[in-house]
Amino acid sequence: MEITNSSSSRPLDRNQWIQLGAVAAVASIVAVLIVQVMAIAIWPEIALFKPLDSYLRTAVFTAVPAIIATALFAWLSRRRTNPERTFIQIAVVVLLLSIIPDYLLPVEYKTLLASTVTAFLHVVAALVIVFVLVSGYRRQVG
């Protein structure tokens, strides 16, 4: 049995989801890179920590969750009456789980500061991705 989104007068089509996902990816990449550049300017030693030593890696590891989040939200929008709420709940759980490796994995040059900056980048990415997707979805479904 499929639950449809009765709150939506017109569901988003594939192109609308692709556009929304692209905006979420670009906006989150820009926000995360700005924060990373600022953090490294303040604490240059954190750039030795593998997750923070490459802006390209940061961009990729920000774009991939944005794409996955968009696909998940699109899927939920076709199956739930309140996809925004379910999406936000899942996003919070995934965010919390994504922070754990920043503190636990044995990576060279890992410090509490470097791990915390990395965790904060996860928060920045999540906030931007969720905001862009949810607000864009609400705007488009009316």
Q: What does 8-62 look like in DSSP terms, one character per residue?
A: -SS---HHHHHHHHHHHHHHHHHHHHHHHHHHHHH-GGGGGSGGGS-HHHHHHHH
Instruction: Write down the pTM of the prediction.
Output: 0.90
- Over the chain (142 residues), the average pLDDT of each successive run of 10 is 45 94 98 98 97 96 98 95 96 97 93 97 98 96 83
Task: Tell me if 2 is assigned to some domain.
Answer: no
Give the Cα separation of 114 and 128 in Å (integer).
21
Q: What is the pLDDT of residue 7?
A: 46
Task: Tell me if 6 is assigned to some domain.
Answer: no
Counting every residue, how long is the chain? 142
Task: Tell me if 76 is assigned to some domain.
Answer: yes
Task: Tell me if 126 is assigned to some domain.
Answer: yes
Q: Which amino acid is residue 70, in one-letter code?
A: T
Task: Tell me if 8 is assigned to some domain.
Answer: no
Domain hosting residue 18, numbered range:
14-141
Q: How many domains in the chain?
A: 1
Task: Tell me if 5 is assigned to some domain.
Answer: no
Q: What is the pLDDT of residue 4?
A: 41
Task: Tell me if 4 is assigned to some domain.
Answer: no
Torsion of Cα atoms, 117 then 118 then 124 then 129, to 10°: 180
